[in-house]
Homo-oligomer: A and B are copies of this chain.
Amino acid sequence: MTKHTSHEIDIVKSDTTKIDAVDFDNLTFGRTFTDHMFICDFENGEWQTPRIMPYQPMTMDPSARVFHYGQAVFEGMKAYKDDDGKVWLFRPIDNFNRINKSAARLAMPEFPEDYFMKGLTTLLQMDSAWVKPGKGNSLYIRPFIIATDPAISASPSNNYRFMIICAPAKAYYTGKIRVLIAEEYSRSANGGVGFAKAAGNYAAQFYPTSLAQEKGFQQVIWTDADTHERLEEAGTMNVFFRINDTLITAPLSDRILDGVTRRSIIQLAEDNGIEVQVRPITVTEIKEASKNGSLKEIFGAGTAVVISPISAFEHAEELFELPNIENSYADTLKDKMLSIQHNMAEDKHGWRYMV
């Protein structure tokens, strides 16, 4: 390995690459990582010199606060390669802003924008061979911050580690999923951390989701904890409902993640003349709409799958099947998103960012 300082990032480049051992046609999401990772430690009240080094395990004290108190936040983003071999990000500043919003809610220090963007782009330039061209192929990017202070007092850590790791992701058609509407469990409270990409929000969903899976559903549609009437998220995605030709999604609150895909879908729908309503939508409303035939589509929206169409939902032991729609909003909007992300369509909102 050769060590040299470049652009204010200490870089140790891997002498070898693991890429030749990777079967890009058979990738399991999130299990294969690229050759390098980005690290920046927060010590003595400030972020230290960032580093890029070969992807490798790291040493942690068993008392590190992240293990005990879940003081950890993350982001999910993607890089895409166009047919000219150029690598693109999609609205990266939105992810940067959100990780700091999440960090603030968890009493963690904000990460500097220049470190974030420089670290991200330098890492992607070094590992650009891992971004495969082709619509739907991507490199999934995981920035995260963890509390590393070796002390188990239940208070904010003094030391943190910001990292970026990257995993190649294949274009795949997941098929439509069936979802169970939550009647008992919930993912977030008023005044809680549901709007943040806080690590603990995700583990809390695993058990209720496993119960849904035992009943033959892939995901849970989360409802508000008070009444279980308001439809809020689908699994780890925001959720959209199409009633007649109107697209409806819940308004942001401290329970709902301000999804970059959610925001982009709303804009793209409006750009394409689709009426969008951002308002509370209830279980009762979609059950009635399903019964009278006006409920046309439900889909989840998030970075990992862009749009995940839903074929059926169950509530109070009653199953509701959604119709098969030609030229669905889900398919249309997903295709438009992918075309912008892969530099195959006009980017009128300036969402693409060249690495």
Residues of A within 8 A of B (CB): 28-31, 33, 37, 55, 57-63, 66-72, 74, 104-107, 140, 142, 144, 146-147, 150-156, 163, 165, 167, 182, 184-193, 198-210, 225-226, 228, 235-236
A225 to B, closest residue via Cβ: B189
Q: How distant is the Cα of A156 from the Cα of B199 in the complex, in angstroms?
A: 13
Decide: B59 and A37 in contact? CB cutoff 8 A: no
Q: How distant is the Cα of A205 from the Cα of B29 in the complex, in angstroms?
A: 32
Contacts of A153 in B (CB 8 A): 28-31
Q: How distant is the Cα of A62 from the Cα of B141 in the complex, in angstroms?
A: 13
Q: How distant is the Cα of A147 from the Cα of B147 in the complex, in angstroms?
A: 16
Contacts of A74 in B (CB 8 A): 68
Contacts of A33 in B (CB 8 A): 62-63
Interface residue from B62, B188, B209 paired with A57 (Cβ < 8 Å):
B62
A213 to B, closest residue via Cβ: B155
Q: How distant is the Cα of A201 from the Cα of B206 in the complex, in angstroms?
A: 15
Q: How distant is the Cα of A147 from the Cα of B216 in the complex, in angstroms?
A: 25
Contacts of A206 in B (CB 8 A): 69, 71, 106-107, 155-156
Contacts of A205 in B (CB 8 A): 154
Contacts of A68 in B (CB 8 A): 72, 74, 142, 144, 199, 202
Further 4 A-B residue pairs, CB within 8 A, beyond A28-B153, A30-B151, A60-B60 = A59-B59, A72-B203, A192-B204, A198-B203
Decide: A107 and B225 in contact? CB cutoff 8 A: no
Contacts of A190 in B (CB 8 A): 186, 189, 225-226
Q: How distant is the Cα of A63 from the Cα of B156 in the complex, in angstroms?
A: 22
Contact of A207 with B105 at beta-carbon distance under 8 Å, contacts A69-B199, A153-B30, A186-B191 already known: yes
A155 to B, closest residue via Cβ: B206
Decide: A191 and B225 in contact? CB cutoff 8 A: yes
Chain A to chain B: the 9 pairs with minimum beta-carbon distance, closest first: A200-B200, A70-B199, A189-B189, A70-B200, A107-B206, A189-B225, A69-B202, A30-B152, A186-B191
Which of A185, A200, A205 has most chain B Cβ within 10 Å? A200
Interface residue from B60, B72, B165 paired with A63 (Cβ < 8 Å):
B165
Decide: B191 and A182 in contact? CB cutoff 8 A: yes
Contacts of A106 in B (CB 8 A): 203-204, 206-207
Q: How distant is the Cα of A280 from the Cα of B21 in the complex, in angstroms?
A: 60
